[in-house]
Amino acid sequence: MKGTQHLGILLLAFVWVGCQKTATIKNDHVKLSWEKQRDGWTVSSLEVNNSDHWKSLGVPSGKYTLLYSAEKPDSTSRIFETNTGVQFPEKAYHYQQDIWKAATEPVSLNTAGTEISFYPSEMESQSGGVVFSHDDEWATLTATWRLDPKHHTDIIVRQQAIVKKPGYYSLATPSPITIDEKDMAWATVPGYFQGSEIQKDFVLAYAYGQGVPDLPAVYRERCVSTMTSIVDTKDSVSYSIIAAPGLGRDPWEKDKNTHQKWNIGVSHKNRDSKLSPSLYYPVLGEPSSKLNAGDTITYEFRYSVQTGNWYKNLNHAINDVYDFKQGLALRSNKQSLTSRVQAMHHYLLDPKTSLWNVESFQGLKIGAQEYHGGVVGSKGDAMKNSDYGAMWMLASATGDAKLKDKVLPYAYNFKLAQQQVKPGFFQGAAMGQYYLSKSKVFVEEWGTFVEPVSLTYYTMLDDGNILLFDPENKVLRERLRLGAELLLNWQKDDGSWEVAYDQDTHQPLFKDIKDLRPTFYGLIVAYRILKDEKYLKAAERGAEWMIKEGVEKGHYLGVCGDARYAPDFATAQSAQAMLDLYDITKKGQYKDAAVAAARTYTTSIYTHPIPSREHKNVNGTDREDWEIAQAGLSFEHGGIMGSAQRHGPIQLASHTGLFIRIFQLTGDSLLLNMARAGAIGRDAFVEPSTSVASYYWQAMNKGSGPYPHHAWWQIGWITDYLMAEAQLRSNNQVIFPRGFVTPKVGPHQSYGFENGKIYNESARLIIREELFKLKNPNLECIMASSTDGNRLYAIVMNDVNEPISDALQIDINSFQPGKAVKKITLVGENKVLEAKPNVQPGSGPNAGSIDVVMAPYGINVYAIDL
């Protein structure tokens, strides 16, 4: 007996031999077949059509699994040691103790409960699919399998289990196939790990995401950035499982923070520890898993079989299943990003709001902002500066005398005091990123040691960014040279560095992990400033080691000592470091590495739940869901040990400019959309009186909190993002030289130290609050001036995907009193515009306005000749 049903170009086929012995569902891309065996219905093959050739994938299985526990599962955690024999994590890392304990309990390690595995006993055809069923002493199960008529790569499954006895249950997804570990080319649970090989060192795999864990761990969705698990084969086929939208937790249910709820478990392996992307719903031991006889578990998911690699599969999950563009389309501003920069300028000038302090240290007056986060040895007296590139950039663009006289000199002295200049093992190093004013000592975040990457950050990058604005500063050039020579001295023969050195013994520390970070960037700085080829050659050695040991394997290390260097925003920084090296050398290997690292960093960006207009009560304020959505925001650090486990993502979107630049190189629209989703419409996290965003998602709009210095980083990333957008949208007609990346928090770079080009005319960046004004907060205005000051530029950009009309208010007196407007031109179209008199109260005699009509995501460049 044979029957077929046509659904468009889909072919759904059932083939029975004898008494219903085989079944197949098939379309033009994927074919899944079952056969009836003695122990039930098993999968006989899963095939994918590659260039009109059907290729079998993996080892056929078809096993189903139900987990059961009569009582709440045991919570005794398992002890693991590093490869140096030290129990992990050490007691000093108190932020990680509870989350590591929970991550090593039986449920997380997939050893809890009784495993009930089976092959379904019955099969029947149904309109649009096949239905398998099974009945035993534990439950009655049905599973409906159908092809997705829209996405021919996908097979959608809906499972239902009616349980027969009280207890705790978890229904795993079936394993149509398993992948032999020798055939694996790549695997990832986004947000937790990625890699090209099975990692036998469980701590490296599980805590650091460096390779594929050997154990069948079950991951919490709070740090699964995209709700999928993906395994690639060496035949260039990517196989994934994707949870249906809405199955994972909502981080803010109606009126409270529910970020830490655990609704669904995600794994790269099944219960038998075979490579097979799997979901577990509900999670055994969680409240929703406690059931009575007759209760039902129902959920839906899909398998996706792509010709290509994990990134193609990830894009499919993000764009086609989780409709990332829908969330982006909802975004709009209540305050423009350029307005935020101007407001934060005022915040940072007020010592009371910015917590700016000046202290005496060894004959110098040093200045920095109070820091009330965790620092070893702090008694509430820690001080820190963040983004020196942004500090000097803002001073240059505004011409603010108070900033230049009251802030920069003391920040400069802080930088001098931070570095050891006396001969010895640490000559040239930054001896700590924090200053303790009571102890009068510089310290690192989490111990008495010095890191080579901190030398890159707090000597090379900071000094380098200052030198871009003050290139003839002989003192600072010598300090930079000291740092560069120490980086050279510490570099190993293979191009790498140690993670850290003990301050007292000078012995290497953290021998269980490799320095998979952009430490080599410090030598890029040295080459650009000091022009010595030896620094470039050493930077290339470091980059080549990083490509081989890091980028190609998917292994990265973070830079936050309090998280014991869990992978973080340094991954994006590594991408920018490679891109800068490519700009210098034009060697394709660095461009490829930059793209690869940036794409890996997309797994640090939340893409779920799908934002909506549902109303929610957020600390007494009515918000729509999209306003507080996590989708589009990045981790500080994710994975098992990161802050995202507790606090969710962060608002410091340092990666956005990088993503725009990589999009411009590759045309990869996911990067463009992620950049815009991270930057636009985040007002619910901005403290209204200061325009400073909170750091962690869970803080909502409480402001800078213990991190007042973050305002400088916010100015830095916003500027970098807007300048990257201007360059992209103008097709390189608005382009300004980029400086060096900021220390620590990501890849954003400084501007304003050299003139740029606006349609081939030389121009410098300026900020004057009253010069140009727009009413619509979805319009940004970047300001620039010709070198002689006789031409001003207003670079207006639309933040949203819809047309906008507005009026650009112009007040020349705020920039050059006594000057008058001679002509206004829409540059690029050579269209001369007529200014209307500005009749607003208080407007000066040289004020006026012009109508602006902006295309969706458009850019208009106006030249105002004086």
Region 197-206 average pLDDT: 97
- Is the Cβ–Cβ distance between 282 and 264 less than 8 Å? yes
**Exposure on the CB side of residue 745, measured as CA atoms within 13 A:** 26
Region 829-849 average pLDDT: 67
Task: Label residue 128 by pLDDT band (50, 70, 90).
Answer: confident
Nearest CA-CA partner of 544 in 586, 589, 574: 589
Region 579-592 average pLDDT: 98
In angstroms, rounded to a whole number, what is the distance separating the alpha carbons of residues 71 and 168?
Answer: 7
Instruction: Check residue 7 and give its pLDDT.
Output: 37
In angstroms, rounded to a whole number, what is the distance separating the alpha carbons of residues 477 and 153?
Answer: 57
- Is the Cβ–Cβ distance between 774 and 808 less than 8 Å? yes
Query: Taking 70 as the threshold, does the pLDDT of residue 2 lie above it?
Result: no
Q: What global pTM score does this model have?
A: 0.96
- Is the Cβ–Cβ distance between 46 and 56 less than 8 Å? yes
Instruction: Check residue 13 and give its pLDDT.
Output: 45
- Which DSSP helix (H) or strand (E) runs through 262? none
Main-chain phi, psi angles of 279, to 5 degrees: -125, 155
Query: Taking 60 as the threshold, does the pLDDT of residue 844 lie above it?
Result: no
Region 432-438 average pLDDT: 94
Q: What is the DSSP letter of 774?
A: -
Share of the chain above pLDDT 90, in %: 92
Instruction: Check residue 204 and give its pLDDT.
Output: 98
**Angle, to 10 degrees, between the axis of helix 337-349 and the axis of helix 710-729?**
150
Q: Is 665 helix (H, G, I), strand (E, B) or coil?
A: helix
Instruction: Check residue 408 and give its pLDDT.
Output: 98
Instruction: Check residue 18 and give its pLDDT.
Output: 36
Beta-strand (E) ranges in 16-82?
22-26, 30-37, 40-49, 54-56, 59-69, 80-81
- pLDDT tens by residue, 630-664: 999 999 999 999 999 999 999 999 999 999 999 99
Task: Label residue 835 by pLDDT band (50, 70, 90).
Answer: confident
DSSP string, 681-716: S-GGGEETTTTEEPSBGGGTT--STT-TTHHHHHHH
Q: What integer best gives the mean pLDDT of the chain?
A: 95
Query: Taking 60 as the threshold, does the pLDDT of residue 88 lie above it?
Result: yes
Task: Label residue 449 by pLDDT band (50, 70, 90).
Answer: very high
Share of the chain above pLDDT 70, in %: 97
Query: Taking 90 as the threshold, does the pLDDT of residue 723 lie above it?
Result: yes
- pLDDT tens by residue, 330-388: 999 999 999 999 999 999 999 999 999 999 999 999 999 999 988 988 999 999 999 99
Ranking 269-278, 532-541, 831-840 by mean pLDDT, the lowest is 831-840
Instruction: Check residue 836 and give its pLDDT.
Output: 75
Choice between 446 and 342, residue whose per-residue pLDDT is larger: 342
Query: Taking 50 as the threshold, does the pLDDT of residue 147 lie above it?
Result: yes
Contacts of 562 (CB under 8 A, 6+ apart): 93, 95, 373, 374, 445, 446
Region 568-581 average pLDDT: 98
- pLDDT tens by residue, 514-560: 999 999 999 999 999 999 999 999 999 999 999 999 999 999 999 99
Query: Taking 50 as the threshold, does the pLDDT of residue 601 lie above it?
Result: yes
Query: Taking 60 as the threshold, does the pLDDT of residue 98 lie above it?
Result: yes
C-alpha R_g of the chain: 29
